[in-house]
A and B are shown apart, each in its own frame.
Chain A
Amino acid sequence: MLRDNERHKHFNRRAAILGGGKALLLSILAGRLYYLQVVEADRYRTLADENRINLRLLPPLRGRIVDRLGIPLADNQQNYRVLLIPEDARSLHATMNALDQVIPLSDGERRRILRDVKRNRSFVPVTVRENLSWKSAAQIEVNSPDLPGIMIDVGQSRSYPHGQELAHVMGYVAAVSPAEQTGDPLLELPGFRVGKAGLEKIHDLRLRGKSGSSQVEVNAYGRVIRELERREGEPGAEVNLTIDIALQRTVNHRLKNQSAAAVAIDVHSGEVLAMASSPAFDPNAFNQGLKVADWQALINNPRAPLINKAIAGRYAPGSTFKMIVLLAALERGVVNTSTQFFCNSFINLGDARFHCWSKHGHGFVNANDAISQSCDVYFYEIAKRTGIERIASMAKRFGLGSPLGIDLPGELAGLVPTPKWKRQAYEAAWQKGETVITGIGQGYLLATPLQLSVMTARMVNGGFAVTPRLTRDVSGLKSGDSENEQKFKSLGIPTRHLDIVRAAMGDVVNSPTGTARGSRIEEPEWKMGGKTGTVQVRRISKSEREQGVVKNQDLPWKERDHAIFVGYAPMENPRYAVSVVVEHGGSGSKTAAPIARDILLEAQRRRSSQSTVARVVGSLETIQKKRDN
Chain B
Amino acid sequence: MREDSLNPPSFTLLQKLIHIRWIFVLLVIAVAFIGVAMLFSAANGNFQPWASRHLARLGVGIGVMLCIALVDIRIWLKFAYLFYGFSLILLILVEVMGFIGMGAQRWLDLGYFNLQPSEIMKITLVLALARYFHGMGMEDIDRPTRLLIPLVMVGIPTVLILRQPDLGTAIMLVMASGGLFFVAGVRLWKFGALAVLGLALMPVSWQFLHSYQKRRIMTFLNPESDPLGAGYHIIQSKIALGSGGVSGRGFMQGTQGHLRFLPEMQTDFIFTMLAEEFGMIGALGLISLYILLLVYGFAIAMRSHSHFGRLVGMGVTVTFFLYVFINIAMVMGLIPVVGVPLPLISYGGTAMMTLLIGFGLLMGVWVHRDVVIGRRGGDRA
Q: Which residue of A lies closest to B276 (CB)?
A: A48
Tell me, in angstroms, the Cα distance from A45 to B259 when the chains sit together: 15
Q: Is A15 positioned at the interface, with any CB of B under 8 Å from its CB?
A: yes
Assess the A219–B260 pair: CB atoms within 8 A: yes
Secondary structure at the A interface, as helix, strand, loop or mixed, is helix
The one of A14, A41, A52 in contact with B246, judged by C-beta atoms closer than 8 angstroms, is A41
Per-residue CB proximity of A16-35 to B under 8 Å, as 1/0?
Answer: 01110010011011101110
Assess the A52–B298 pair: CB atoms within 8 A: no
How many A-B pairs fall under 8 Å by CB? 138
Assess the A44–B138 pair: CB atoms within 8 A: no
B residues in contact with A29, CB < 8 Å: 287, 325, 328-329, 332, 334
Q: Is A231 positioned at the interface, with any CB of B under 8 Å from its CB?
A: no
B residues in contact with A33, CB < 8 Å: 241, 275, 280, 283-284, 287, 332
Per-residue CB proximity of B184-200 to A under 8 Å, as 1/0?
Answer: 11000000000000000
A residues in contact with B138, CB < 8 Å: 3, 6-7, 10
Assess the A36–B183 pair: CB atoms within 8 A: no
The one of B182, B243, B291, B298 in contact with A48, judged by C-beta atoms closer than 8 angstroms, is B243
Tell me, in angstroms, the Cα distance from A172 to B334 when the chains sit together: 62
Beyond A37-B246, A37-B279, A48-B240, whether A7 also contacts B298 by CB under 8 A is no
Tell me, in angstroms, the Cα distance from A6 to B138 when the chains sit together: 9
Q: Is A426 positioned at the interface, with any CB of B under 8 Å from its CB?
A: no
Beyond A33-B284, A37-B246, A37-B283, whether A15 also contacts B314 by CB under 8 A is yes
Assess the A11–B242 pair: CB atoms within 8 A: no
Beyond A4-B372, A15-B314, A26-B325, whether A37 also contacts B241 by CB under 8 A is yes
Tell me, in angstroms, the Cα distance from A22 to B179 when the chains sit together: 11
A residues in contact with B332, CB < 8 Å: 29, 32-33, 36
Beyond A37-B245, A51-B239, whether A32 also contacts B261 by CB under 8 A is no
Q: Which residue of B lies closest to A23 (CB)?
A: B291
A residues in contact with B259, CB < 8 Å: 51-52, 217-220, 225
Beyond A8-B310, A217-B259, whether A45 also contacts B183 by CB under 8 A is no
Tell me, in angstroms, the Cα distance from A284 to B15 when the chains sit together: 94
Assess the B302–A47 pair: CB atoms within 8 A: no
Per-residue CB proximity of A32-63 to B under 8 Å, as 1/0?
Answer: 11101110110111011101100000000000
Q: Is B137 positioned at the interface, with any CB of A under 8 Å from its CB?
A: yes
Instruction: Using CB atoms and an 8 Å cutoff, list the residues of chain A in contact with chain B.
Output: 1, 3-4, 6-8, 10-12, 14-15, 17-19, 22, 25-26, 28-30, 32-34, 36-38, 40-41, 43-45, 47-49, 51-52, 217-221, 225
Instruction: Using CB atoms and an 8 Å cutoff, list the residues of chain B in contact with chain A.
Output: 137-138, 179, 182-185, 236, 238-246, 255-256, 258-261, 275, 279-280, 283-284, 287, 291, 294, 298, 301-302, 305, 307, 310-311, 314, 318, 321, 324-325, 328-329, 332, 334, 372
Known pairs A12-B302, A41-B243. 13 more at Cβ < 8 A? A7-B185, A11-B307, A14-B184, A15-B301, A28-B329, A36-B242, A36-B332, A41-B242, A43-B242, A44-B238, A51-B255, A51-B256, A220-B259
- The 8 A-B residue pairs whose C-beta atoms are closest, nearest first, are A44-B242, A48-B243, A219-B259, A37-B280, A220-B260, A41-B245, A14-B183, A45-B243
30 A-B pairs within 8 Å (CB atoms) are namely: A4-B307, A4-B372, A8-B307, A11-B184, A12-B302, A14-B182, A14-B183, A18-B179, A18-B318, A22-B294, A25-B325, A28-B334, A29-B325, A29-B329, A32-B329, A33-B283, A33-B332, A37-B245, A37-B279, A38-B246, A38-B280, A41-B246, A43-B242, A44-B239, A48-B240, A48-B256, A49-B255, A51-B236, A52-B259, A219-B259
